[in-house]
């Protein structure tokens, strides 16, 4: 991907001065050094680069919008306003979204995006901003509207873009996880926090089930959406509180299974990621894949972008590589 | 060319016990959403509305759904 790379804030300032429109990921202090201009950004210091996975608090990762894509508008959305996100962009265009982790818009989008008016009408791609893992609890994820300089911890930032008339944008995902051969797990209520699970239809404590079965919670829950493997990742299992916390909500009526193990993330990823992902206009991968897959210093077949606290391809995803390409 | 909305395959696609495997991500997500809705309500008006939504989506995304629909509309 030659339109996206890790660069200094001075280089980014130069691109903005030259009239480019950018999507930027970086540490909060690095983003604060950028001038106002045609860009949106989100906080994160982890990146997949051509040289491999890196942690960098000084440089930022910038995607230059391709020539056939142009800025329509930039907006900040609160949780309620996000309901209109699919309808606000131009017809035939695509939109980029960044949401601060654990903010009200994050929770709302995760649970309600599928019911937003115009859901799937146009590609909506992006990520959940985060912090250095050493700063969890001490620093807050944020997003930036570069056109105004506004930094927000409780709003999503969206860049709506137009596309040249002869181009279309296609959004796709690469998920290494598939459903394992274990129990079928269903839930009667939607939520990020779960007390009770139905195991093959029989209700029981989810925390006890995971503990007694010795489930490796680095493996996500996986649902099969007509061939799309959709993950829900585990955040914590609290046996005392009888509660399981998740990084995305489970939904009633959806059948989940614990994922089959992936022996080596890097080689497995290289085997399945399509060549087209290397030329993507935008891509991102999950912090859990970065950490659990040992991606620091490892190349992922030329697939580059920010490493995120959640991925968005129309809806919230976990432990998934997301990419947008123009055709 | 997207098949007409009156074709029975649209309805079968939504109500069949068999889960097709598609290639186009947005179609996969739409099918999941429509099937979720029909899980609790299979009244004629809801089925018609879901068929209409699926058909409109196919027309709008004709370029991307051709391969997926080819195996259904023979």
Reduced DSSP (H G I as helix, E B as strand, rest coil) percent helix, strand, coil of chain A, to 5: 20, 40, 40
A268 and A175 Cβ atoms separated by less than 8 Å: no
Q: Pick from B21, B33, B63: which is nearest to A114 by CB? A: B33
Kindly report the length of chain A. Answer: 327
What is the model's pLDDT at position A148? 98
Tell me which residue of B74, B71, B63, B68 sits closest to B1, measured CA to CA: B63
Q: At residue B17, does pLDDT exceed 70?
A: yes
Q: At residue B44, does pLDDT exceed 70?
A: yes
Q: Which residues 3-62 of B are in CB contact (within 8 Å) with A?
A: 19-23, 25-33, 36, 39-40, 57, 60
Reported ipTM? 0.91
* Cα–Cα distance, B56 to A187 (Å, whole number): 31
Within 10 Å of residue A272's Cβ, how many Cβ atoms?
A: 12
User: Of all helices (H) and strands (E), which one includes residue A324?
Assistant: strand A321-326
Q: At residue A272, does pLDDT exceed 80?
A: yes
Break chain B into its structural domains and give their ranges.
8-70
Averaged pLDDT, B15-35? 92
Tell me which residue of A163, A146, A176, A124 sits closest to A34, measured CA to CA: A146
- Name the one residue in this structure whose structure tokens are 């930027």: A24
CA of A226 to nearest chain B CA: how many angstroms apart?
5
Q: Pick from B19, B32, B64: which is nearest to A170 by CB? A: B64
> What are the φ and ψ backbone dihedral angles of A154, each rounded to 5 degrees?
-130, 15
CA-nearest residue of chain A to B20? Answer: A226
A146 and A34 Cβ atoms separated by less than 8 Å: yes
What is the model's pLDDT at position A2? 58
Mutate to test the interface with A, among B20, B21, B28 (most CBs of A within 10 A): B28
3-state secondary structure at position A247? strand
Q: At residue A30, does pLDDT exceed 80?
A: yes
A257 and B58 Cβ atoms separated by less than 8 Å: no
What is the model's pLDDT at position A327? 86
CA-nearest residue of chain B to A315? Answer: B29
Burial B7-24 (b: 16+ CB within 10 A, else e): eeebbebbeeeeeeebeb
Work out the pLDDT band at B29, boundaries 50, 70, 90. Answer: very high
Averaged pLDDT, A183-190? 96
* Listed ranges A151-165, A295-309, B28-42; the one with the highest mean pLDDT: A151-165
Q: At residue A181, does pLDDT exceed 80?
A: yes
CA of A219 to nearest chain B CA: how many angstroms apart?
22
Within 10 Å of residue B45's Cβ, how many Cβ atoms?
A: 8
Mutate to test the interface with A, among B13, B29, B69 (most CBs of A within 10 A): B29
Between chains, do B29 and A114 touch, taking CB under 8 Å as contact? yes
A129 and A23 Cβ atoms separated by less than 8 Å: no
Kindly report the length of chain B. Answer: 74
Between chains, do A314 and B60 touch, taking CB under 8 Å as contact? no
* Cα–Cα distance, A219 to A262 (Å, whole number): 9
Work out the pLDDT band at A1, boundaries 50, 70, 90. Answer: very low
Q: At residue A262, does pLDDT exceed 50?
A: yes
Residue A136 is classified by DSSP as B
Mean pLDDT over each residue of chain A, to the nearest integer: 95
Between chains, do B63 and A168 touch, taking CB under 8 Å as contact? yes
Between chains, do B30 and A224 touch, taking CB under 8 Å as contact? no
CA-nearest residue of chain B to A121? Answer: B57
B27: chain A residues, CB-CB within 8 Å: 226
Mutate to test the interface with A, among B14, B25, B57 (most CBs of A within 10 A): B25
Between chains, do B22 and A170 touch, taking CB under 8 Å as contact? no
A252 and A186 Cβ atoms separated by less than 8 Å: yes
Distances (CA, A) of B14 to A222, B47, B61: 22, 8, 18
CA of A228 to nearest chain B CA: how many angstroms apart?
6
What is the model's pLDDT at position A116? 96
Q: Which residue has the higher pLDDT, A278 or A81?
A: A81
* Cα–Cα distance, A267 to A271 (Å, whole number): 6
């Amino acid at each position: 991907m030659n339109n996206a790379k890790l660069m200094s804030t001075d280089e980014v300032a130069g691109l903005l001065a030259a009239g480019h429109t950018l999507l930027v990921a970086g540490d909060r202090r690095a983003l604060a050094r950028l001038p106002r201009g045609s860009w949106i950004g989100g906080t994160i210091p982890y990146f997949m680069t051509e040289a491999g996975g890196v942690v960098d608090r000084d440089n930022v990762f910038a995607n230059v919008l391709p020539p056939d894509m142009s800025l329509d508008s930039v907006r900040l959305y609160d949780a309620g306003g996000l309901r209109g996100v699919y309808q606000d962009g131009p017809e035939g265009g695509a939109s980029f979204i960044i949401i601060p982790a654990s903010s009200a818009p994050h929770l709302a989008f995760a649970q309600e995006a599928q019911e937003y008016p115009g859901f799937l009408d146009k590609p909506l791609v992006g990520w959940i901003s985060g912090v250095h893992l050493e700063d969890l609890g001490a620093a807050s994820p944020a997003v930036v509207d570069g056109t105004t300089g506004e930094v927000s911890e409780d709003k999503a930032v969206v860049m709506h873009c137009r596309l040249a008339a002869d181009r279309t944008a296609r959004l796709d995902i690469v998920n290494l996880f598939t459903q394992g051969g274990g129990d079928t797990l269903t839930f009667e209520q939607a939520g990020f926090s779960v007390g009770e699970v139905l195991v093959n239809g029989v209700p029981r404590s989810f925390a006890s089930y995971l503990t007694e079965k010795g489930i490796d919670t680095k493996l996500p829950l996986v649902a099969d959406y007509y061939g799309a493997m959709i993950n829900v990742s585990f955040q914590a299992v609290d046996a005392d509180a009888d509660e399981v916390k998740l990084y995305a909500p489970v939904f009633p009526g959806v059948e989940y299974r614990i994922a089959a193990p992936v022996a080596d993330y890097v080689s497995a990823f290289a085997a399945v990621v399509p060549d087209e992902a290397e030329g993507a206009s935008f891509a991102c991968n999950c912090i859990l894949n970065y950490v659990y897959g040992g991606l620091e210093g490892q190349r992922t077949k030329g697939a580059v972008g920010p490493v995120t606290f959640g991925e968005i391809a129309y809806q919230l995803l976990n432990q998934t590589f997301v990419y947008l390409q123009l055709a | 060319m997207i098949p007409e909305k009156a074709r029975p395959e649209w309805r079968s696609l939504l109500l069949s016990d068999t889960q097709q495997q598609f290639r186009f991500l947005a179609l996969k997500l739409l099918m999941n959403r429509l099937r979720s809705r029909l899980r609790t309500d299979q009244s004629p008006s809801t089925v018609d509305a879901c068929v209409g939504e699926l058909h409109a989506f196919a027309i709008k995304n004709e370029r991307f759904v051709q391969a997926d629909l080819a195996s259904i509309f023979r």
